[in-house]
Amino acid sequence: MTHLWEFRPLDTLLFFRNSTPFEAGEIDMVQPESMFPPLMNPLQGAIRTSLAAQRGWSPHSEQTPFPPELGDEHHLGLLQMKGPFLAEHGKTLVPLPLTLFGKIMEDRKTKKEIWQIQPLVPGPPSYTDLNQKINHPLRLLEPAERVAGGKLLELWGTMEALASVLRGEIPDFSQLRRSSDLWRKEQKHGIMRGDIYEKRVKGGHLYTSVHIRLNKGVTLQVEVKGIPADWEIKEKLALPLGGEGRFADVRIRSDSFRLPEVPNLQPAPDGKLRYTLSLLTPGRWKADKLPDVIHYGPPSAPGTCIAASIGKIWRVGGWDLKEKGPREVIPLLPPGCTWFFEASMQEKEKIERLHGKWVGENNAFGMGQVVIGTWKEGEEAE
């Protein structure tokens, strides 16, 4: 059975620490930031802890063991999770492929926003120092039509917007959201507590951190599959979430994310099948494998990668509750990373089967989910 878990902050602010050091004396002017949307780690922890507690388990007692169906500190057991994604008034929003270029302006008279957006497509062959690495001409991405003063856009969108982007089209602007439309960052100051019973604090232990405040109607969503059918699950919960254990209202229902269908992949006049592969969630590979993934695309993708739009690599860590120490900092490719491929028609079914599936590592935690799109050469698109 598949369930959708929806998290709404009760305490208005959330803190999902990034990899910035947060120990006394380690930093001066650098402030620990919140990573948002968060990785699956804090969300799956809240979900599994809640499910285990409903089965009688308690972290403060060894009488009832942690349910084996829920795995351990390294595995999720029977569970498979997707996301996390955002929702606005219940409508799911996903990070869109990094293939939209343009700008957003304000009309001086009407004060309304004007969106100028064009899809990115591979340009003519270029020759750089990377050519020796990839063994074929490098093709840099360029907008289908010029947008003066434009830039690569990192946007969120509805499933309908995602479907348009995967077809190589420009989505309806009403289906697009910027991060500022969904959340904002707020600075928080605090001081370390000493003996809580005497309500004292420790002098010289001031700290500053950056928290997240979701805009009205915005929630976090996680799809959870694999909960045993005979388990009774509460539909409403209040769970601690994030680095400071601030509470979130959680609503659980039988539902799932519904991705758009894979676009119609057809061969071009030259017989080549041109498709894109985009990360919907962060992608994890071993550090020594990451350069090849960036240059050639995920190993399971058929064909030849001729261009790519890669976001800034994330460096993420976390806190190991069992070991009571920080986790190893690892590199991740961010959602939206997109590779442009050329393949033969014989590989069409293999390509289509990748849609909605996973690449890389930690797939049970939702990492590496991909979607398939299509693209055309300049003369084909005309």
| pLDDT number for residue 129 | 67
pLDDT tens figures, 256-308: 999 999 999 999 999 999 999 999 999 999 999 999 999 999 999 999 999 99
**Domain for residue 115, yes or no?**
no
Q: How far apart are CA 165 and CA 117, in angstroms?
A: 11
| pLDDT surpasses 60 at 379 | no
Answer yes or no: do 14 and 80 share one domain: yes
| pLDDT number for residue 7 | 94
Residues 6+ apart with CB under 8 A from 166: 97, 260, 262, 263, 276, 278, 371, 372, 373, 374
Q: Which residue has the tokens 């074929």?
A: 136
**Domain for residue 299, yes or no?**
yes
**Domain for residue 197, yes or no?**
yes
Q: Which amino acid is at 338?
A: T
| pLDDT surpasses 80 at 137 | no
Answer yes or no: do 27 and 81 share one domain: yes
Answer yes or no: do 17 and 67 share one domain: yes
Dihedrals phi, psi of 136, to nearest 5 degrees: -160, 160
| pLDDT number for residue 240 | 83
Answer yes or no: do 86 and 190 share one domain: yes
Domain's final residue, options 201, 219, 254: 254
**Domain for residue 347, yes or no?**
yes
**Domain for residue 324, yes or no?**
yes
Q: pLDDT confidence of 382, banded at 50, 70, 90?
A: low
Answer yes or no: do 351 and 215 share one domain: no
Dihedrals phi, psi of 345, to nearest 5 degrees: -65, -25
Residues 6+ apart with CB under 8 A from 60: none
pTM value? Answer: 0.89
| pLDDT surpasses 80 at 237 | yes
Q: How far apart are CA 67 and CA 72, in angstroms?
A: 9
**Domain for residue 292, yes or no?**
yes
Mean pLDDT, rounded, for 249-255: 95
Q: pLDDT confidence of 329, banded at 50, 70, 90?
A: confident
Q: How far apart are CA 268 and CA 310, in angstroms?
A: 25
| pLDDT surpasses 80 at 188 | no
Domain enclosing residue 360, as ranges: 273-381
**Domain for residue 52, yes or no?**
yes
Contact 241, 43 (CB under 8 A): yes
Q: What percentage of the chain reaches a pLDDT higher than 70? A: 82
| pLDDT number for residue 74 | 82
pLDDT tens figures, 25-61: 555 555 666 677 888 988 998 999 999 999 999 888 7
**Domain for residue 62, yes or no?**
yes
Answer yes or no: do 285 and 360 share one domain: yes
Residues 6+ apart with CB under 8 A from 212: 13, 14, 15, 16, 34, 36, 183, 184, 185, 186
Answer yes or no: do 80 and 189 share one domain: yes
* Selected residue with higher pLDDT from 6 and 245: 6
Of the candidates 178, 183, 261, 133, the one whose C-alpha atom is nearest the C-alpha of residue 13 is: 183
Contact 376, 343 (CB under 8 A): no
Answer yes or no: do 187 and 324 share one domain: no
160: left (phi over 0), alpha (psi -120 to 50) or beta: alpha
Answer yes or no: do 202 and 85 share one domain: yes
| pLDDT number for residue 127 | 73
| pLDDT number for residue 21 | 53
| pLDDT surpasses 90 at 351 | yes
Q: pLDDT confidence of 315, banded at 50, 70, 90?
A: confident
pLDDT tens figures, 191-229: 666 665 666 766 666 667 777 888 999 999 999 999 999
| pLDDT number for residue 199 | 67
Domain's final residue, options 224, 254, 284: 254
Answer yes or no: do 72 and 202 share one domain: yes
| pLDDT surpasses 80 at 20 | no
Of the candidates 342, 273, 310, the one whose C-alpha atom is nearest the C-alpha of residue 97 is: 310
* Selected residue with higher pLDDT from 9 and 95: 95
Answer yes or no: do 84 and 191 share one domain: yes
Domain's final residue, options 190, 220, 254: 254
CATH of the domain at 330: 2.60.40.4350
| pLDDT number for residue 135 | 64
In degrees, to the nearest 5, what angle opens at C-alpha 362 toward C-alphas 359 and 368?
35
Number of domains in the chain: 2
| pLDDT number for residue 31 | 60
Answer yes or no: do 207 and 346 share one domain: no
| pLDDT number for residue 173 | 93
Q: What rounded mean pLDDT belongs to the chain? A: 87
